[in-house]
């Protein structure tokens, strides 16, 4: 009797957790649907590691849109990222789009660094962010750092031990 009560409680807990996940996913979908009142922009990046369809677009850390599509430009071999921005958020034409890591283990997002121009990108779907900064490959940076640290240690940066008394 006691074991069946325990199994019942575990079953109720599993159903409650599944319900919470369903609720969360529906909330995310409804927030994406609220972006229907938005306009399209695009940008070309050298690297977009960690960015996919649905990735956030943020201004000053606040979500203002999301990535709608990604394709490769066959002439320049750059990644063309199409994204939406909420209507009412005017983006100056000297804005920089940057792939930003959301922490060491987190994903990436497109951060818009707002410029100071008084001219704004068109909200008719033809706007192109001209200035971009792609993602940084952390492993490459760390390996470069490690190899440069190894070189500085082997360049004779330490003192010679030949004449030291023992």
Nearest to 44, CA basis, from 76, 67, 66: 76
Note the pTM of the prediction, 2 decimals. Answer: 0.63
| Across 111-123, average pLDDT | 90
| Across 94-107, average pLDDT | 83
Question: In this predicted model, which residue has the larger pLDDT, 24 or 126?
Answer: 126
Burial 95-116 (b: 16+ CB within 10 A, else e): bebbbbbeeeeeebbbbbeeee
pLDDT tens digits, residue range 140-164? 777 777 777 767 665 555 554 555 5
What's the rounded Cα separation, in Å, for the pair 108 and 52?
9
Predicted confidence (pLDDT) at residue 106 exceeds the cutoff of 60: yes
What's the rounded Cα separation, in Å, for the pair 37 and 19?
29
pLDDT tens digits, residue range 75-95? 999 999 999 999 989 999 999
- Cβ 61 vs Cβ 83: under 8 Å: no
Band of pLDDT at residue 34, cut at 50, 70 and 90: low
């Amino acid at each position: 009797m006691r074991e069946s009560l325990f199994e019942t409680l575990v079953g109720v807990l599993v159903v409650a957790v599944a319900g919470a996940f369903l609720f969360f996913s529906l909330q995310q979908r409804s927030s994406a649907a609220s972006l229907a009142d938005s306009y399209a922009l695009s940008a070309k990046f050298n690297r977009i590691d960690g960015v996919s369809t649905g990735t956030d677009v943020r201004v000053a850390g606040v979500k203002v849109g999301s990535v709608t599509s990604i394709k490769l430009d066959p002439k320049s071999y750059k990644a063309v990222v199409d994204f939406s921005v909420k209507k009412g958020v005017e983006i100056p034409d000297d804005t920089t789009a940057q792939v930003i890591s959301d922490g060491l283990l987190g994903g990436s997002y497109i951060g818009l660094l707002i410029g100071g121009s008084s001219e704004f990108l068109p909200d008719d779907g033809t706007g192109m962010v001209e200035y971009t900064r792609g993602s940084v490959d952390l492993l490459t940076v760390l390996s470069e750092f490690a190899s440069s640290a190894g070189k500085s240690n082997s360049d004779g940066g330490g003192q010679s031990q030949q004449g030291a008394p023992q």
